[in-house]
Structure 1
């Protein structure tokens, strides 16, 4: 572990901790760290590498060794590769700030990102988690189009049922009050963004700032490309994507179920909505698992349950159509 230089401008207990998590980001880490160093609010910055087999960690160490600015910076590396959520769980106890800002080793934060986040939390005492708009760039840093459903500026648990989609705030833009972690403990699923969004919604409001505060990079090695198998050969992409999504939805459901036990004071109406969301995640995991390996008659149970579940009716209706077409039409062998 290497330690950057401290500054008298940073209090012993910083208000903001930036967690800059990286894995195989040697081509991008310089820009990511430069974006963190450029923040206009003094922060605690923890740069952590998930035991990648490239030069990401060495580049980070070299940049920290020569840093002389207002932030308190630490650079570290896991002994072995843990994956996205477990890496977050490993690093989160090191953060001491009351506001946690997530950054990734392949993205670039706007210099005013932390300032905008702090301002938004100060103006919205009930907000527990927030994201923002973003600009999408490719591996060379050039703008590129990306389909992404814009989240409302303010929303709560009911949004997830009303929109009928299992979506959270984009992980690359996430920030949250540390209670979102301290109250519920380590994440239980493989990916952090939906779980943290739902935790925030259990405790208060979710915000999505209309400012594009992050340049979000899409490339072959990015987390989203891996999860959705975007770079996989066509003949295996569907199966791998579904396998990963089954783990993602199931893990998010496990996390939400345990979190509900930790908030006995949650009003009955909000608990009912949270249980509906939990059912949505369970049904989505079951439906995808059945579609992968089950005979067609086993697809029916999760589909029929979905038709009776608020928020899942549209998706379940679409899956009914898949009963009528050959499996090879959507990427599976017969």
Structure 2
């Protein structure tokens, strides 16, 4: 309140109005559209991001590919006029999946992060459906969804992928005895899944984020197809799991890459567990089981491709005593009696 002293004549002062620009608030959702050598598919991917029915921050990030993907993305973003806050960038050098994600994630502002790949196509309602699912389930930290498989030309194909329950927690991984997270192409998460622990450790993002979300709360898998998931030569999943490589090298490379993948995921989980002294005893036990499963499976696969048969015994015995791995380890024990060539190894 302004006061005027009785002994003084009131002053007449004119103030020029000051213009203070008000920063427009960031959208609630950030879409990370990560691409690498996706020149044939990137237009459809970006168009599907632009078609989302709720305003988003859309970050198109290219991992320094040399095929024109970035040029196409840059052109589309420059021409964009619409409700989303859109940007495009390129890494200085090729980083690989996880490091690329870490770098792009540091630029995101949203409280909900939606993942996209440069070769997939999101349905227009995808982001809206994800936001409503998180709002309806406050304890959910990470989610995935069903998807429709397509080939290089966009034609429908069947993609084998084990369905996750609609809602589950960390003990699910131990019950099923499989090292599977949500499909990264369908994944979304609350940003605390990243901020609580910091950059991902390891080469692949989907299992690490799945387990981080399970440490912090519930996981969801929506029974609605929200993307068209493209399977083609050169896709990330094809490269990691050597799906499109010659049979004589595919098995060995698949094992080598999954060893690296499992160890990186285990390192990330172990690091996150150390940051959570508040974990309940039950949840910590489940996390320790999952961690042991990843460690044992990495050792078993490495022994299988690179060591004498007697060295297989250690991981097999550990697996037989490890909850979640007993059946798989029993099956692996039978391989001790069979030639390596039966499994595509020399």
Alpha-carbon deviation of 1:12? Answer: 2.2
**Other-structure match for 2:51:** 38
State the alpha-carbon separation in 2 of the partners of residues 41 and 247 from structure 1. 38
State the alpha-carbon separation in 2 of the partners of residues 284 and 155 from structure 1. 23
**Other-structure match for 1:305:** 318
Alpha-carbon deviation of 1:126? Answer: 0.3
Which of 125, 128, 135 aligns to 2:148? It is 135
**1:146 corresponds to 2:159:** yes
State the alpha-carbon separation in 1 of the partners of residues 202 and 44 from structure 2. 29
State the alpha-carbon separation in 1 of the partners of residues 162 and 65 from structure 2. 31
**Other-structure match for 1:125:** 138
**Other-structure match for 2:26:** 13
Alpha-carbon deviation of 1:317? Answer: 1.1
Alpha-carbon deviation of 1:48? Answer: 0.3
Which of 295, 305, 319 aligns to 1:282? It is 295
State the alpha-carbon separation in 1 of the partners of residues 24 and 147 from structure 2. 30
**Other-structure match for 1:5:** none
Which of 277, 280, 286 aligns to 1:264? It is 277
Give the match's secondary structure for 2:164. coil
State the alpha-carbon separation in 2 of the partners of residues 230 and 269 from structure 1. 38
Q: Which has the larger radius of gyration?
A: 2
**Other-structure match for 2:20:** none
Name the TM-score, length of structure 2 as normaliser: 0.93
**Other-structure match for 1:103:** 116
Alpha-carbon deviation of 1:13? Answer: 2.5
State the alpha-carbon separation in 1 of the partners of residues 191 and 106 from structure 2. 10
**Other-structure match for 1:177:** 190
Alpha-carbon deviation of 1:11? Answer: 4.3
State the alpha-carbon separation in 1 of the partners of residues 233 and 114 from structure 2. 25
**Other-structure match for 1:73:** 86
Specify every segment of 5 or more residues in structure 1 that has no aligned partner in the other structure, as ranges. Answer: 1-9
Alpha-carbon deviation of 1:265? Answer: 0.4
**1:246 corresponds to 2:259:** yes
**1:325 corresponds to 2:338:** yes
**Other-structure match for 1:231:** 244
* Structure 1 segment 28-67 matched on structure 2, within 5 A: 28-67=41-80
Give the match's secondary structure for 1:143. coil
CA-based RMSD: 1.1
State the alpha-carbon separation in 2 of the partners of residues 331 and 44 from structure 1. 46
Name the TM-score, length of structure 1 as normaliser: 0.96
Count, aligned residues: 325
State the alpha-carbon separation in 2 of the partners of residues 286 and 160 from structure 1. 19
* 1:302-324 residue CA offsets vs partner (Å, 9 max, x unmatched): 01100111110111111111101
- Runs of 4+, deviation exceeding 4 Å: none
State the alpha-carbon separation in 1 of the partners of residues 266 and 323 from structure 2. 16
State the alpha-carbon separation in 2 of the partners of residues 173 and 231 from structure 1. 22
* 1:21-41 residue CA offsets vs partner (Å, 9 max, x unmatched): 000000000000001000001
* 1:242-267 residue CA offsets vs partner (Å, 9 max, x unmatched): 00000000000000000001111010
